[in-house]
Amino acid sequence: MKISTLRNHWREEALRRGLSPRDVDLLLADVTGRSLAWLFAHGDEEADADRFEPLIARRFAGEPLQYIRNRTEFYSREFYVDDRVLIPRPETEILVEAAIAQVPIDATVVDIGTGSGCIAVTLALERPDLRVFAVDASVGALAVAKRNRDAFGARVSFAASDVLEAIGARVDFVVSNPPYIAEEEIATLATDVRDHEPRMALTPGPQGTEIIERIYAGARGARVMLEIGYGQTEAVTRVAESHGYRVDEVLRDLAGIERVVVSSPNG
């Protein structure tokens, strides 16, 4: 079938369903193995509808585009993702930028709940002086993270660990985008998030701060830098202070939401 015929039909259907027509274009580009620019300029060329239509059906069923394509961009790099890991968000780049700027030279850094490995791999590539460890309780997530580490040739060591339990080395800095959504809020999330992204990467329990509590409890005097959810600054500050930490700085995302907490041990 001609590309223009497929494209026009499914773009209209995407709009009717409240989805971006660009999703159609990206999946068509994947099926043809060509760029978007080529796709737009070669509407009379043939495309394999039998390969394309099952992909767009998955998107219309609510599956995130990143899982269908098995990739997403983070910090100007393309990372492999699938449904074993949370899809990296642009907000997490704020955490990475802050860590790149603030982690001391030659420090040992641990990324807790590494998921796709996007934080740990990016830190290792941008700061090759660092010793970077990454941990996750999910063996499936670690497999994805290792795939990304190997693809980029980053120096990152991995361990299956519940927070810092498997790390025996001295830790200077902890970074994490932990699950922070309160359990009762899961039902309010968008369908593609609620029904497709791993639940353990979204919520730690009823309060939303359960993993954050455990990170501070096990941080062993390391500085801690965390991504947090909307409206969580006061709760996270209380958690930090209860474990002998002070909040040094709170960074906002592009929407003005307090997104990253930077903290240090008292004394």
Structural domain total, the chain: 2
| Same domain as 124, residue 229 | yes
| Same domain as 113, residue 174 | yes
| Same domain as 100, residue 209 | yes
| Same domain as 121, residue 57 | no
CA torsion through residues 152, 156, 158, 161, sign: negative
The last residue of one of the domains, among 61, 81, 99, is: 61
Closest CA to 177 of 83, 118, 113: 113
Domain that holds residue 200: 89-265
CA distances from 180 to 14, 109, 162, 259 (A): 32, 21, 16, 11
| Same domain as 119, residue 34 | no
| Same domain as 222, residue 159 | yes
Are the beta carbons of 6 and 29 closer than 8 angstroms?
no
Q: Going residue by residue through the chain (267 aa), what tens digit of pLDDT does each one get?
A: 899 999 999 999 999 999 999 999 999 999 999 999 999 999 999 999 999 999 999 999 999 999 999 999 999 999 999 999 999 999 999 999 999 999 999 999 999 999 999 999 999 999 999 999 999 999 999 999 999 999 999 999 999 998 888 888 899 999 999 999 999 999 999 999 999 999 999 999 999 999 999 999 999 899 999 999 999 999 999 999 999 999 999 999 999 999 999 999 997
pTM (2 decimals)?
0.94
Residues 6+ apart with CB under 8 A from 39: 3, 7, 25, 28, 29, 32
How many alpha carbons lie under 13 Å from residue 83 in its C-beta half-sphere?
Answer: 12
The answer to the question of residue 74 being in a domain is no
CATH number at residue 153: 3.40.50.150
Closest CA to 79 of 162, 153, 148: 148
Kindly state the tokens that stand for 205: 């329990």
Kindly state the tokens that stand for 168: 């025996």
pLDDT tens for residues 142-194? 999 999 999 999 999 999 998 888 888 899 999 999 999 999 999 999 999 99
Q: What would you measure as the largest C-alpha separation in the chain, in angstroms?
A: 69
Are the beta carbons of 23 and 14 closer than 8 angstroms?
yes
**Count of CB atoms situated within 10 Å of the CB of 170:** 11
The last residue of one of the domains, among 17, 44, 61, is: 61
